[in-house]
Amino acid sequence: MNAYGSSADLAYLSATEARRLFTARELSPVELMRAVIDRAEQTEPTINAFTEQLFDEALEQARHAENRFLGKNGLTPRPLEGIPVATKEKHAIAGRSLTEGSLVNTGNTATENAPVIDRILDAGGIIHARTATPEFSIATFTHSRLWGVTRNPWNPEFTPGGSSGGAGASLAAGTALLASASDIGGSTRIPAAFTGTVGYKAPYGRIPGVAPLSADHYRGDGPMARTVDDCLTFANVLAGPDPRDHVSLRPKLILPTEYEAVAGMRIALCVRLGAYDVHPEVEANTRAVARDLTDAGAVVEEIELPWTKDDLLISLAAHFSTIFGALVSEIEAKHRDRMSTYATAFADTMAAARERVTYLDGLRVETRLQRELGEAMAPYDALICPTTAVPGLPAGDDLLGRLVVNGVDHGEPLWAAMTVPFNINNRCPVLNVPSGHSSWGLPTGLQIVGHTYDDPTVFRIGKALEQLRPWAYTPEHRPTAQSETLTR
């Protein structure tokens, strides 16, 4: 038995701590992988975060990682050596299935690795599982006809969010230490908020992607983790130019690992982003974060943004209907009967939008929204705001009507997440960190928004908040596989 006691305690180690223990030879990568696999065997029947389990291969790779830490064969450990990493199924692995959660793509096999997969493997990370998404990663929840319903480990009646819902669920359940994600409208930050984890939407071009959507400036791949340090380490692995994606930025940005305290920083607080109806508990948790930053010596001032729902809708409708929506519509035209109801509804909505707005209409509004954010943030180092307007979304619901939870109408589901404004403003780095918990049994999230391409500042504030408002997955603060909610 190791110093960490139970298998669950090992599974909830941070990647940073696991790496320290590997180096000190106090823990073997094989021990850690077995603990993670054991945890998955307990939780997966209910949580359903994984689409594919690669446990046998992972254990063999863990043995090779162990040899590197022992100095055998002259090999040295790499940045993610021996760390169990769950990767989003849409992140292609050569020779393995690539379905994006759709029956339409059953039988498809990837011909090459996605850039983020190559980065993980080159850094010594061990891909032990692949994670679920909604069909084509188009939703703020995670379920599909192909893979079924993925549930939130904190409360399985709710979704872990989407589209990187399997990633967030696996981190919260203790079945991965790191997870790859992507974000075109909040697909990293929404699940991070709902699962109490850390998710990073890097500015456009920071992390290389896959054509053709690598050219969509709303979209980008990125890291998820349980701690800010782990997310930072993972971001440093994923970032940097790749010849397959000519918009990927050079030179590679290497984020610092140490930062000054937040004392003296100027931070803007915007609770509603001009357009959102925020649940009282989400607002309370957001304001509590602001108070803690103030107590730590930061100057936090509340601001308002002039954004309206109409402006946001025009920008989103023009952009999505022209690019991502058009891609889904091409598939829908041939395979509608094999698609999920929410996927066909998305295609129909995008087709209608193309008749009403042009890409130029969207650009006119988009650039105004960008200017308004830039001017509002100019006196400040960063901005903080909620990640979602509500504490959660029901599991298995297509959300095609109103959002009703416990008999209460919470409005149109489109406005449940507050992430899309920062896909419109996608040169801004955004870090989601936990802000607290709600009475719905779920964590809530906070977005830390930086100036364009100022990645270090969001991590500086994130690291400070992790100290001011600890959210570590201790035995007293984590979902438990033995709870009634996970076994019923």
Catalytic machinery residues: 88, 163, 187
Asked if residue 20 lies in contact with residue 81, where contact means CB atoms within 8 angstroms, the answer is: no
| CB-based contacts of 83, cutoff 8 Å, min separation 6 | 15, 18, 19, 29, 124, 125, 126, 177, 178
What would the two tokens of residue 220 be?
């980008």
- Among candidates 307, 234, 252, which has minimal Cα distance to 276? 307
What would the two tokens of residue 29 be?
């990568």
Beta bridge pairs of residue 223: 180
Spell out a b/e string for 95-122, using b for 16 or more CB atoms within 10 Å of the CB, else e.
Answer: ebbbbbbbebbeeeebeebbbbbbbbbe
Q: What DSSP assignment string belongs to 227-281?
A: SHHHHHHHHHHH-S-BTTBTTS-SSPP---S----STT-EEEE-SSTTT----HH
Cα(287)–Cα(270) distance, rounded to whole angstroms? 10
Residue 158 Cα distances to 3, 59, 303, 442, angstroms: 34, 32, 32, 8
Cα(348)–Cα(229) distance, rounded to whole angstroms? 42
- Among candidates 484, 477, 486, which has minimal Cα distance to 196? 477
- Among candidates 432, 36, 34, which has minimal Cα distance to 202? 432
Asked if residue 30 lies in contact with residue 56, where contact means CB atoms within 8 angstroms, the answer is: no
Q: Where are the beta strands (DSSP E) in 136-176?
A: 143-144, 148-149
Cα(82)–Cα(78) distance, rounded to whole angstroms? 9
Neighbours of 299 (CB within 10 A): 16
Q: Which amino acid is at 479?
A: P
| CB-based contacts of 59, cutoff 8 Å, min separation 6 | 30, 33, 34, 37
Q: What is the DSSP letter of 148?
A: E
Q: What is the DSSP letter of 203?
A: P
Beta bridge pairs of residue 129: 53, 86
| CB-based contacts of 410, cutoff 8 Å, min separation 6 | 279, 390, 402, 403, 404, 416
What would the two tokens of residue 227 be?
């701690």
